[in-house]
Amino acid sequence: MDWTLVTTGLLVAALIAVTGIGGGSLMTPALILGCGLAPTTAVGTDLLYATFTKSGALLGYARDGRVDWATVGWLLAGGVPGVAAAHLFLSSFHDAALQDRLVGTAVACVLALSALGMLLPRRRDHVARPPAAIRRWLIAGGAAVAVLVTLSSIGAGTLTGALLTRLYPERPLAEIVGTELAMAVPLAALAAGAHFLSGQVDWRAAVDLSIGSLPGIWLGRQLMHRLPDRWLRLATAALLAGASITLIA
């Protein structure tokens, strides 16, 4: 057992449980720079880890009734074909190092914009949006997130959370996080399966990370119930900004 991986899994799981984001943004650079995994293997391993970790975090939110399953369905309507399209693209792109540089730079820019979006005040007018318009945004957003997640393992929580926050400004952060997790779990599982077919998953590392995630999920859930919504938003924005700087560097 690698205790560095176990500890890394604990810390990242706690962040996932509190905010619904941070897994790929922190884990993929850690696996590449700290553990020496090849970029494509780091992506596949992180996706497998995220499947286990986010499943555990999702159970608590689902039990508390903090998941909008209808919204999850529309997100996956775009997300499932997005994973398939990204896998086909990745299978034909053999330069893994160049792929990680290009995708990492693009995601870093999106992370910075998402951090800014989390700091913007919520809309207070609560203007009703046409359901058809919301569904189109959800499907398109799900597809875009799926492509980024499959290529880089980054974006499921970050981008989905930002999208839901803007579409549903009246909802508490806990419901946004729960809905995002319910979308991220099957998305990560499908993307991990695609990487597994290409031999890009380190099972031993994924197991060690998952062992650390068990107490991390519990710790994150305790913090979620004790921190006010405003401070969670500030912490989320700081996490996004830090991840952006890490990826650019």
Number of domains in the chain: 1
pLDDT value of residue 103: 63
Q: How far apart, in whole angstroms, are the C-alpha atoms of residue 9 and residue 25?
A: 13
Q: What is the DSSP letter of 113?
A: H
Residues of the chain with pLDDT under 70: 19-22, 96, 99-100, 102-104, 106-107, 110-111, 113-114, 117-130, 227, 229, 233, 243, 247, 249
- CA 17 centroid distance within chain: 11
Question: 23 with 210: CB under 8 angstroms?
Answer: no
Q: What is the pLDDT of residue 5?
A: 87
Taken as a whole, the chain contains a residue count of 249
pLDDT at 106: 66
User: What's the pLDDT at 186?
Assistant: 94
In angstroms, the CA 122 to CA 181 distance is 21
120: left (phi over 0), alpha (psi -120 to 50) or beta: beta
Residues of the domain holding 236: 3-247
pLDDT given at position 92: 78
Residue 188: per-residue pLDDT? 92
Give pTM, 2 decimals.
Answer: 0.78
If 0-12 CB within 10 Å is exposed, 13-18 middle and 19+ buried, where does residue 145 land? buried
**Residue 194 contacts residue 48 (beta carbons within 8 Å):** no
Task: Retrieve residue 212's tokens.
Answer: 């650390």
- What are 11's two structure tokens? 């810390």
